[in-house]
Structure 1
Amino acid sequence: MSNQPKFDAGEAGKFFFRAGHTGWLGLEYVAHGQNWVELKLPWREDLIGEPDRHVLASGPIVSLMDMASGMSIWQTTGVFTPVATLDLRVDYQRPAREKSAVWGRVECYRTTRSAAFVRGIAHDGDEADPVAHVAGVFMQVSYDPKKRLEAQAESAKTEGRDDD
């Protein structure tokens, strides 16, 4: 059993969103359940895609959904372990409304030993009229890379011995 505390998206958001890429974007934690997480990307003028339209660009929305995906995986498994995005399909339905924030709600609906599957929507206030649908597959890294390197080093040492 791991000594690691059970993952809690609300508590993790306090750390995740104060620095780095997610902090720069201004992502905000909204809510979570057993297998889902909802985050918010506030509207900012420096995140618009076209200078003549005051609509959030697609890149920040993809980042929102990628982060919500990872957090939904950790919420589902209860453990914060490395995940890598293998495939994240974003099907845009329409542009977000002008000067509107975008919310991303993603659920992790299946996990295996090495993969996690997610789906969700991005919306600008009306979940029934989404900005985008997402579906993704993430690789779960279930080993400690440091321990793996230590084991490889130990194995290399013992292979070099002549015990005859």
Structure 2
Amino acid sequence: MSDPKTDLARRFIEAIPHSHALSMQVDALGDGRAELSMPYDSRLVGDPHGGVISGGAVSALLDTCGGTAVISHPEGPGQTATISLRIDYMRAATPGQRLVARAECYHVTRSVAFVRATATDDDRDHPVATATGTFTADGGAA
């Protein structure tokens, strides 16, 4: 039997046009945790000389993963929106490699959910970027 929160979070991803445009897929989901991945795509390159994926694409993956983690949290809302997202870029993603974001919604109040996330490529020991964010948790997302 599938979990209603997990189903809702999957529908959230499927409804977001940029998730489709970036070919994001849900790899794991549930209990306030989400793992999304995105394949390398030369159309998303931000450094034409090195073939490195744009920071904007990495940011979109981390943001979407964070929101998905919030929705899958047992106390999370049925919908959410980003309030704030801080991203620290640690290194360039390796050209040609799939990016994987993992997010955890670690605390939910009546109106705010708190998230930590990490994006990696094949080198899982050295993150491409990390993020912390806050998301709406009152069901009043736009």
**Bin for the TM-score computed over the shorter chain:** 0.7 to 0.9
Q: State the 1:141 CA deviation.
A: 3.1
The percent of aligned pairs where both chains have the same amino acid is 31
Secondary structure of the corresponding residue to residue 5 of structure 2:
coil
Q: Does 1:68 align with 2:69?
A: no
Q: Does 1:53 align with 2:41?
A: no
Q: Which amino acid aligns with 1:56?
A: I
Aligned length: 140
Q: Considering only aligned residues, what root-mean-square deviation do their CA atoms show, in Å?
A: 2.4
Q: Which runs of 5+ in 1 are unaligned?
A: 146-164
- Normalised to the residue count of structure 2, the TM-score between the two structures is 0.87
Deviation readout 1:69-89 (Å, 9 max, x if unpaired): 011011113665231211100
Deviation readout 1:73-112 (Å, 9 max, x if unpaired): 1111366523121110000100001111110000000000
Secondary structure of the corresponding residue to residue 59 of structure 2:
helix
Cα separation, 2, equivalents of 1:128 and 1:22: 26
Cα separation, 2, equivalents of 1:86 and 1:98: 31
Secondary structure of the corresponding residue to residue 88 of structure 1:
strand
Secondary structure of the corresponding residue to residue 66 of structure 1:
helix
Secondary structure of the corresponding residue to residue 4 of structure 2:
coil
State whether residues 80 and 141 of structure 2, in contact with CA within 8 Å, keep that contact through their aligned partners in structure 1.
Answer: no
Q: Which amino acid aligns with 1:131?
A: V
Cα separation, 1, equivalents of 2:141 and 2:49: 48
Alignment partner for residue 96 of structure 1, among 71, 93, 96? 93
Q: Does 1:120 align with 2:130?
A: no
* CA separation of 1:22 and 1:143: change in aligned 2, threshold 3 A: closer
Secondary structure of the corresponding residue to residue 8 of structure 1:
helix
Alignment partner for residue 128 of structure 2, among 128, 131, 136? 131
State whether residues 83 and 135 of structure 2, in contact with CA within 8 Å, keep that contact through their aligned partners in structure 1.
Answer: yes
Deviation readout 1:24-43 (Å, 9 max, x if unpaired): 11101111242210000110
Q: State the 1:19 CA deviation.
A: 6.2
Q: What is residue 7 of structure 1 aligned with on the other side?
A: 5
- Normalised to the residue count of structure 1, the TM-score between the two structures is 0.76
State whether residues 9 and 72 of structure 2, in contact with CA within 8 Å, keep that contact through their aligned partners in structure 1.
Answer: no
State whether residues 34 and 76 of structure 1, in contact with CA within 8 Å, keep that contact through their aligned partners in structure 2.
Answer: yes
Larger RCO (CA within 8 A; separation ≥ 6): 2
State whether residues 85 and 138 of structure 1, in contact with CA within 8 Å, keep that contact through their aligned partners in structure 2.
Answer: yes
Q: State the 1:12 CA deviation.
A: 4.5
